[in-house]
Amino acid sequence: MALQHNITTDSGLNVQNAYSRVESILLLNKSKVKFTLSSYANKEEGIPFNKQTYMCDYDIESYNPIKQAYLYLKTLSEFSNTTDV
C-alpha cells in the first residue's frame, strides 16, 4: 500500500503525483505507533525526496499497524486528496 498525492515540501519543492509509503514503523507500546512517511518522485525512484515522522494511536485488536498508519494519515487535511496505490 502507498499513497499518491501532490506535495510541497518545507523548502518549496513541489512534486505532482508523488509516491509516499509508510516505513520504519515502531510500536512504542500497546497503544501508540511511530512511523516515517517517505515520499518519492515516483514508484520506481530509490531515494526519497522527503521524510516525515508521525505518531498515532494503535489498536492492538484492529488492523495491522501499517494499515492503521495509513488510515491515520488519511484523517489529516494534508492527505485528504490522496489516492491509494
Residue 20 lies in a domain: yes
Instruction: Please check whether residue 12 lies inside any domain of the structure.
Output: yes
Residue 58 has pLDDT above 90, yes or no: yes
Distance, CA of 50 to CA of 4 (rounded, Å):
14
pTM of the model: 0.90
| Rounded-to-integer distance, Cα 23 and Cα 74, Å | 16
Q: What is the pLDDT of residue 62?
A: 86
pLDDT band at 80 (very low <50, low <70, confident <90, very high): confident
pLDDT at 35: 98
Is residue 85 one of the residues assigned to a domain? no
Domain that holds residue 17: 3-78
Identity at 53, one-letter amino acid code: T
pLDDT in tens, 5-50: 999 988 899 999 999 999 999 999 889 999 999 999 999 999 999 9
